[in-house]
Structure 1
Amino acid sequence: MNQASRDVIRPIRADEWPKAKELRLLALKDPVAPIAFLQTYEQAAAEPDSFWREQARESARGTRVRQFVAEGLEEIWSGTVAVLIEDAGSDDAFGGAVLQRQAHIVGVFVRPEYRGSGVIDELFEAAVGWAWSVEEVARVRLYVHEDNARAESFYRRYGFMRSGETVPMKGDPSKEEREMVLDNPQLVSDIS
């Protein structure tokens, strides 16, 4: 039995903000963090508990954002992914205009000892499944740093394709973040 088959994939609850904070800080210490996240460890560690409480509360509501975790037998969170809903006409995290209602995957992290176990696949199944359940979401997107080949390889395997859109990397405009998208199969089949 692989590790992933023993994990429960579920949304976080509002009272779990300390565990969400702990996992986020661990993610920001990962060697790949500078190219995987827009936030630094120092920035996150400086946030007051009220920040973490509000984030967990919003995610638990599940209307505009949803954070999923993989929870193992000993209640260890082995990984996480979050989904943000972006409405047409709003600005995205990079200052660009959102043209259609879409979901944006962020905060992808799996503890090193659980990588290769299938946890990431199960987290993405939950995240993308939730995104498709939100009315009028036309696509799911994410951004990947040009030097993060491991992450891009997984996203491609899952079905994401480069859209051709790029944005300069925050803090290092000589590097770029590449947008990858997955179109809603229900909307594509409705058009056909």
Structure 2
Amino acid sequence: MNTVWQACPDDWETFMDVRLESLADAPDAFGSTLQKEITYSEADWRRGLTMSVVFLGSRNGKVQSIASAFPLEGDEVELVRIWTHPDARGTGLAAQTVGAVLNWAKGKTVTLWVGEKNVAAERFYTKLGFERTGKRGPLPRDESIMEVEMVLRAH
């Protein structure tokens, strides 16, 4: 059974665990690194839960998914930190977790960046209604990884 909820600062340890696991599993998918975030303090993790909206998803009681959003200018938000544990892929948990963020962002335009070579992730976002915008650029922390921007217009 899948369960998704919006994390609050008291969920900082769960947030930390799933975030560090995601960085270890898919280091080229994120703008940050495990080496950087492993040094964060409790205060840093709690602050991360107040500066963005974070949804966590569990499958059979084990947290295995994360999706977050940062407000941008106007009626736009950026979808970030999207990850689902390999054991939970294909179970609907990723769609439910991202869906919770999209529900939270209802009425806003949602953008995200995905690695050009991450075909499975782009296919997932396309199924959710995202389209490429035509913008592309290097991942800031590793310019050898090219990303494309995708958008889901106000919904």
TM score, norm. by length of structure 2: 0.93
Report runs of 4+ in structure 1 exceeding 4 Å deviation. none
Higher strand share: 2
Gaps of 5+ in 2: none
* Whole-angstrom distance in 2 between the partners of 1:149 and 1:55: 28
- The RMSD of aligned alpha carbons is 1.5
* Whole-angstrom distance in 1 between the partners of 2:151 and 2:46: 30
- Is 2:112 aligned against 1:125? no
* Whole-angstrom distance in 1 between the partners of 2:147 and 2:98: 20
Question: What residue in structure 1 maps to residue 54 of structure 2?
Answer: 67
* Whole-angstrom distance in 2 between the partners of 1:115 and 1:145: 18
CA deviations over 1:16-51 (Å, ceiling 9, x no partner)? 101100111100110x322x1011110000122210
Amino acid at match of 2:101: A
Question: What residue in structure 2 maps to residue 162 of structure 1?
Answer: 132
Amino acid at match of 1:127: V
Query: Deviation of residue 174 (structure 1)?
Result: 4.1
Identity %: 26
The alignment of Structure 1 onto Structure 2 pairs a total of residues equal to 155
Question: What residue in structure 2 maps to residue 53 of structure 1?
Answer: 46
Query: Deviation of residue 178 (structure 1)?
Result: 0.4
* Whole-angstrom distance in 1 between the partners of 2:77 and 2:147: 17
Question: What residue in structure 2 maps to residue 40 of structure 1?
Answer: 33
Query: Deviation of residue 79 (structure 1)?
Result: 0.4
Match of 1:104 among 47, 66, 78: 78
Question: What residue in structure 2 maps to residue 182 of structure 1?
Answer: 152
CA deviations over 1:138-188 (Å, ceiling 9, x no partner)? x11100011111101101111100000112222433442100001013xxx
Amino acid at match of 2:45: W
- Give the direction of change, closer, same or farther, for the CA distance of 1:42–1:183 in structure 2 (3 Å limit): same
CA deviations over 1:105-145 (Å, ceiling 9, x no partner)? 00001111111101111112111111115xxx2x1110001
Question: What residue in structure 2 maps to residue 79 of structure 1?
Answer: 65
TM score, norm. by length of structure 1: 0.76
* Whole-angstrom distance in 1 between the partners of 2:64 and 2:86: 9
Q: Contact 2:138/2:147 (CA < 8 Å) preserved in 1?
A: yes
Gaps of 5+ in 1: 1-5, 60-64, 89-100, 186-192
